[in-house]
Structure 1
Amino acid sequence: MAASSEAWQASGPGAAGGLAARLSPVLETLIAIAPERRPSDRLPAAVHAALVASGLWKLWVPQVHGGLEQDLPASLALFERAAAVDGSLGFALAIGTGGGLFAAWLPEATARDIFTPEAALIAGSGAPTGTARPLEDEPQGGLVVTGEWRYASLIHSATWVTASVRVADSDAVVAVAVPAGEVEILQRWQADALAGTDSQDLRMSDVRVPSARVFDLTSPPRLAGALYRFDFMALASAAFASVAVGIARGAVEAVRDRLAVQGPVDGEVATRLARATASQRAAWRALQASVGEAWALLAGRPNLPPASVLDVRLAAVEATRQAVAAVDELAAIAGMRLLARHDPFSQAWRDVHGVAQHALITVARQRELGLGLLEGGAD
């Protein structure tokens, strides 16, 4: 079951208006700023302000904390639409809204403090490259955190930072939430793909984190909404895959529009356009179908069965592969345009390859998923 157009145009739980209506002024703001006038490493400040005003940064924040708690199928349509216009915007939305999920694992008072401010936004990293030791002089417990983390997207706009850490003298890996002002930003992000995501590195040195801001995403969420019961890895994989497919759609449309005014087109060019269009559309339909079926199946269940989790993750990896293939199909006829920094197709080509390197949806992930199939993890 694909995400319906009604879910996209109208509204989901807690939404005051349709997602399309919320996204429209954000896109208008971005398009009004010429690519060469945009910051080299982050979204323009006006675009971030438009996202705050739209409420879209709170797409996955629970309703009880003032968020939209939007269903997953309609959320993917939002990411796909944004990415078709600008890859960095689509990726930023997917990863920025993802932080809202953490509210479902935090104590109510902590989640309220973090997520109710209008400009609330989480940056951080799920890679456990930091270490933590017990906070021994605090009666309520907690951790002292030290480490460095790579690729903390949106870090300059974030109000809070989350990071995964390994707890000393144990096998435990947990996440911590820290005010953005308590971390050091390491200005290392110089990229040609997804350049506007502000994916800088960050450092913490003996940062004290009370127990109320320590959480474990492998434990059951405190809130029972379907969004928080959906398998986290499957959800994140689908979100990033929707960005890849959206970037591919933007690339296909850019080439098609250029060819439409260019004059006669030879057979090879037309064939490549047809192949790219078919690959992109097939990728999107398959991803929508897999996620839609899983979302419907989750109703009335505490969580997704392993076969459904595997199906969504397989669909996400394959959709990403097809999205890259669609853009590469057209890259062969792009000529010197492929080298132009601000050309829409050139940017899409770089961005789709950038998204495809995310660990959850890289082609290398197929080995793990294939082993899951051999173990009987899918129908």
Structure 2
Amino acid sequence: METVTTPSRFELVGRAAELGKLLRANALAAEQQRRLTDETIAALASSGLLRMRVPQRYGGYESDMRTVAEVVAELARGDGSTGWTAAVWLISSWMTGLFPDAVRDEVFADPDVRIAGILSPSAMAVPVDGGYQVNGKWSFNTGAQHSGWNVNAAVRPTPDGQYEPIMVLLPMSDLQVVDDWHTVGMRGSGSVSTVAENVFVPAERVVPMGPVIVGAHPLQQNPAALMWRAPFMPIACTTVGSVAYGLAVAAKDAFLERLPGRKITYTDYAEQSAAPLTHLQVAGATVRVDEAGFHIFRAADTIDAKAAAGDAWTLEERARARLDLGAVCLRAKETADVLADASGGSSLHTDVPIQRIERDIKALNLHAIMHPDTNFELYGRLACGLPPNTQYI
């Protein structure tokens, strides 16, 4: 097993920033082919950034949440689809770290392995001798075409006639890929569907989802591993929320890059930069970007602080992670809306980044787990003394 020295946060964020120019250059091609380019995949692999959620015993970094958030945000600043795909791979690697040793030994034999994953339990796992027979379809399966494994949610029957959510780990070679990713946002993420037809999954590649949701990880035996000292949802929410924050920063970058020399047609302003309206738009967008950063980094720092102290999570704290996710998505959308509206008719061209950034942010806001109103309602229920209306908290 490979053991490496964990790079510092500064070094890892620097690596992500260095990829920015390449990611921006490849973003349009990724949109056109509806998946990341081979050059982008190779650059991500050689950067080592996908090792951040791989156990150290296999050559991973076990990076803290703040580092992951800053790296993912920087990748999304370069290209939203790349940031999102990397976020999914990092979450899925974290989840795979909860499986038994024999499974981890197999999957993480390559510490740069890419693992896609789906949280929605849209498959059935029927007990058979030695494991389960799985049938089902998982949509929005980001990065599956560039992955070696898929860790997906399913349900299995329980003795009382009910169903229990589980995670099943499958090699991509066991699954059919349905190339159905035809969208207006996050087009480059390759979030296709995968199908399991009578796929046998050994019992050791099945983990109950209930304990993972609440932060109980019985198979993660290393007490020094801070990375798993948190419930799943705050970790997942903070990881994907970092994409929204990075895109908000990207929207401001893209607007200011095009600003010099631009005019406001049918007005007396020789320069758009001279108009008071532009000053208000840029200042308002900056406030929204800063607020998005506050929420995502508060969530990340909470995870790291509680992990270091070994403190248990309250239900309110878990709901607040969902609140922070909703807030960062909303502020990112507001940022893009303001700056896209200020970018003029020429910004409709596909080679102008602001229109792609706006579409990517809208796509994130429509994601079931990221939708601002859904997250705000959940937190508000608890604040008003009601129980949560979801187990995903």
TM score, norm. by length of structure 1: 0.89
Following TM superposition, by how much is the alpha carbon of 1:370 offset from its aligned partner in structure 2, in angstroms? 1.0
Note the alpha carbon deviations across 1:117-163, whole angstroms, 9 max, x for none.
14411113111110111113xxxx31000011101100111101111
Identify the match of residue 158 of structure 1 among 128, 131, 147: 147
Aligned residue runs from structure 1 range 151-190, under 5 A: 151-168=140-157, 169-190=161-182
Give the secondary structure class of the aligned counterpart of 2:210: coil
Secondary structure at the aligned position of 1:356 is classed as: helix
2:292 corresponds to which letter in structure 1? A
Q: TM-score by structure 2 length?
A: 0.86
Alpha carbons of structure 1 residues 270 and 300: separation in structure 2 relative to 1, 3 Å: closer
Q: Secondary structure at the match of 2:189?
A: coil
Change (3 A) 1:37 1:323: closer
Match of 2:133 among 123, 128, 144: 144
The 3-state SS of whatever aligns with 2:68 is: helix
1:311 has 2:304 as partner = no
Letter in 2 for 1:157: H
Query: Alpha-carbon deviation of 1:330?
Result: 1.8
| Letter paired with 1:163 | N
Q: What is the Cα deviation at residue 24 of structure 1?
A: 4.5
Identity of matched residues, % = 23
**Which AA in structure 2 matches 1:185?**
V
Segment of structure 1 superposing worse, 163-172 or 312-321: 163-172
Q: Is the 8 A contact 1:130 1:148 kept in 2?
A: yes
Mark the runs of 5 or more structure 1 residues left unpaired by the alignment. 1-11
Indicate the SS of the match to 1:254: helix
Query: Counterpart amino acid of 1:186?
Result: V
Partner of 1:339: 348
| Distance in 2, Cα, partners of 1:25 & 1:116 | 27
CA contact (8 A) 2:30 2:36 kept: no
Give the Cα separation in 2 of the matches to 1:357 and 1:286. 19
Q: Which runs of 5+ in 2 are unaligned?
A: 263-270, 388-393
Matching residue's letter, 1:58: R
SS of corresponding position for 1:128:
coil
| Residues 193-218 of structure 1: per-residue CA shift (max 9 Å, x gap) | 11111100010000000011011233
Instruction: Encode CA deviations 1:283-331: one digit per residue, 9 max, x unaligned.
Output: 2023213431342133232532323222222112111111111111122
Instruction: Name which of structure 1's ranges 27-36 and 220-229 shifts more when overlaid on structure 2.
Output: 27-36
Secondary structure of residue in 2 paired with 1:370: helix
The DSSP-based 3-state class of the residue aligned with 1:174 is strand
**Alignment partners' CA distance in 2, 1:153 and 1:34:** 16
Alpha-carbon RMSD: 2.3
Letter in 1 for 2:232: F
Which among 268, 279, 301 is matched to residue 288 of structure 2? 279
How far residue 74 of structure 1 moved from its aligned partner, in angstroms, is 1.2
Q: SS state of the match for residue 172, structure 1?
A: strand
Asked whether the 8 Å contact 2:295–2:324 carries over to 1, the reply is yes
Contact 1:124 1:163 in 2 (8 A): yes
Secondary structure at the aligned position of 1:123 is classed as strand
Corresponding position of 1:248: 248
Tell me if structure 2 keeps the 8 A contact 1:35–1:342. Answer: yes
| CA gap 1:308/1:63 in 2 versus in 1, 3 angstroms | same
Q: Does 1:44 align with 2:46?
A: no
